[in-house]
Chains A and B, each alone.
Chain A
Amino acid sequence: MSNLFDLLVAGLATGAIYALVAVGFTLLWQTSQTINFAQGEFVMLPAFLMLAAMHAGAPFWLAIILGILLSMILLGLGFKMLLVDPMMRHGVLPLAIATMALAIGIKEAVKQFFSAEASPFPSIVPTGDIYILGHAVSLQSIGVLVVAIVAVFGLTTLLNRTSLGHQMQAAAQNPTVARIIGVPVERMILLTFLINAFLVALASLLITPIYLAKFSSGEVLGQAAFVAAIVGGFNQVRGAIAGGLLIGVLDNLAAAYVSTQYRAAVPMIFLIVVILFRPQGLLGRAEERTV
């Protein structure tokens, strides 16, 4: 039982990271019909930007700020203007393939400019334990969970409780009508890309101390977050959050109670089951297709 509690906490902490990344998938899909297969590499890159800043002499807090800002410029603004906008007119599939190429490009560039070897990365959360219900729980797990929850709570508050958020939702749901009623649709879409870049930079900051900074570390993360987004509902932020947490916990429980060797297969089987019985995802809404 004690083991189950530990597994749940560790799974929720990892799942919270998946959720942050999965939310990015849903945001980009809703506002611009973009499936970003470089999302995992988007999580990997900010850690290296922060490391580069530290190697240049910046203290950790400044490196974090610089890393987040650079991520928003490169992975938000740059991604939209240099890749999504020019490719969008050719349809979703060419754009998706272009993001796959981008993933390879980012990975190889990091390998070339930094190293193929892993690098250590400092943690914003101190090491040590606190006791919850008599169980020792690591501060790092709690810290990851709390930061991720605060970020997601802030995002949902922005989307649901503010005028800006309502405009973003309007732009996502029906851009034509939104334009007619005066919503600056292009600006709202850009904002979505910037928010995604912020979320991946945050995920990078939280996960890299545990996974280590390595050019290939985005592969697993991107895949897990993609599965989480589909399981939860690709068109719902709350679905992505639920999917992320669910996959994180399921992955850990599968590794502990089924088999470490087959752990990667369990979320995929779960994904297939969900798609078979609820194609729109657990919390997603069914979308009608115009023929």
Chain B
Amino acid sequence: MKSTLLVGALLTAITTSGALAQAIKLADVAELSGGGATVGTNWKNGIDLAIEEINAKGGVLGRKLEVSHADSQSNPGVARAQVQKALDAEPYVLLGPGYSGSVKVTAPLAAEAGIAQIMGGEAAELTQAGNKFLFRTSFGQQSSMPKVAKYIHDDMKAKSVAVIWVNNDFGRGGRDVVVKELERLGSKVVADLSTEAGQADFAADVGKIKAANPDAVFVYLNEEESARILKELKRQGVTAPLMGETTLIGQKVIELAGDAANGARGHVGLTTDAPVDLIKGFRDRFSKKYNYVPDHNGLKGYLAVYMVKATTEKMGKVDSKAFADTLHGLTIKATDEPGILMDVTFNETGDIDRQSFLVEVVEGKQVVKQVLPKVK
């Protein structure tokens, strides 16, 4: 009897220590190729950097983090299949995708599995469908677009605006909110142009903008297409001020568009040029590791992992079922968790609230013109 108890105790000890040593498994599905390759590559690199840092400091609750990366090929159908495959492996938390269209078709799968999904999509509708497992790493369009419209109306003094957007969930969502807000404020939308994802030639679209002769142009396309249209706007001599969101003035866009990016302005929820010491530190570490300056997607991926860390440490246990409940309503302070970079609050819909920035591209660099405070 004594020996049986001893063996049982030994087995328990071995099992428990094994569980303690077992890694916390995260699954990432991102746009590693296709039209969103810039988005996915930055996102993935941000994740890897955060995991490396956290593991170097002992992990989360004494356990290492492990991540598997899968390529959505920037295709919602592929993303859905990859997410299903990832969920079959029962990860602690699902990370990604970055494209709103891919998030839209994958979110029900994660919700059904009861796994929290921390993603990069910005379409307004994503968090408005009552999904209790979906969390943003940046602003949704319902938060950012009113700020953009206000800036175009109040600061740019634009009475007429041309709006050009990419015809997908991301672009359509942003377009709907900004047009509504511009009209509410009294700025007239004189051109409302949809473009296709992956479009190479913007000569005709820019021709239409020229013909409309607006006071300002709101550009809401994916990164590569943003670079192409900036070049075409310059090529055709459009001088109206350009306003956009993060995808117009990101580092990759500036690199691709060169001089044509100068003067473009945008509202950004995240930028590595923010006047925040923790963000500067992130930028330095990221650039040292990958030999380039990340765009906002690098920050998003990095923050996603630190959201996992802070929430898990708040719970004091690794419990994927309780994770989403804990993150709703949670405020993570940068003083408590420097990896979160700025104080952030998550509301009941999974949306976030934190500082944001208005930037302008000056001589090939993002310059922060205004820091906008948290809403609440």
Name A's B-contacting residues (CB within 8 A): 2-3, 6-7, 10-11, 13-14, 111, 115-120, 127, 129, 136, 138, 140-141, 209-212, 214, 216-217, 220-221, 251-256, 260-261, 263-264
What's the nearest-Cβ distance from chain A to residue B226, in Å? Answer: 11
**Set of chain B residues within 8 Å of A210, measured between Cβ atoms:** 200-201, 228, 231-232, 235
Given A221-B200, A260-B205, 13 new contacts (CB under 8 A): A6-B236, A11-B203, A14-B203, A116-B32, A119-B256, A127-B234, A127-B235, A129-B237, A212-B228, A217-B200, A220-B200, A252-B204, A263-B204
Give B residues with C-beta under 8 Å from A.
32-34, 37-38, 41, 167, 193-196, 198, 200-201, 203-205, 207-208, 210-211, 224, 227-228, 231-232, 234-237, 252, 255-259
Q: Which 5 A-B pairs have the closest CB atoms?
A: A255-B204, A10-B203, A116-B37, A3-B211, A138-B235
A211 touches B37 (CB 8 A): no
Docked CA distance A136–B167 (Å)? 30
Q: List 17 A-B contacts (CB under 8 A).
A: A7-B204, A10-B207, A11-B203, A115-B37, A116-B37, A118-B256, A136-B237, A138-B236, A209-B231, A214-B224, A217-B200, A255-B203, A255-B205, A256-B207, A256-B208, A260-B194, A260-B205
Could you tell me the distance between the alpha carbons of A221 and B199 in the complex, rounded to whole angstroms?
A: 11
A6, closest chain B residue (CB): B207
Q: How far is the CB of A220 from chain B (nearest CB, A)?
A: 5
B193 nearest in chain A by CB position: A260
**B33 and A3 within 8 A (CB):** no
**Neighbouring B residues of A136 by C-beta, 8 Å:** 237
- In this complex, the member of A117, A140, A141 whose beta carbon has the largest number of chain B beta carbons within 10 angstroms is A117
Q: Are A260 and B196 in contact (CB under 8 A)?
A: yes
Q: List the A residue with the shortest CB-CB distance to B31.
A: A116
Q: With a CB–CB cut-off of 8 A, which chain A residues contact B224?
A: 117-118, 212, 214
Contacts of B236 in A (CB 8 A): 6, 10, 138
Contacts of A255 in B (CB 8 A): 201, 203-205
**Measured CA separation A188–B210 after assembly (Å):** 48
Please measure, in the bound complex, the distance between the C-alpha atom of A247 and the C-alpha atom of B208, giving whole angstroms.
19
Within 8 Å CB of A217, what residues of B?
A: 200
Closest chain A residue to B38, Cβ basis: A117
Q: Check if B237 sits within 8 Å of A138, measured CB to CB.
A: yes
A211 pairs with B204, CB closer than 8 A: no
Give A216 to B167 CA distance when docked, in angstroms. 20
Q: How far is the CB of B132 from chain A (nearest CB, A)?
A: 34
The answer, among A3, A209, A264, for a CB contact under 8 Å with B208, is A3
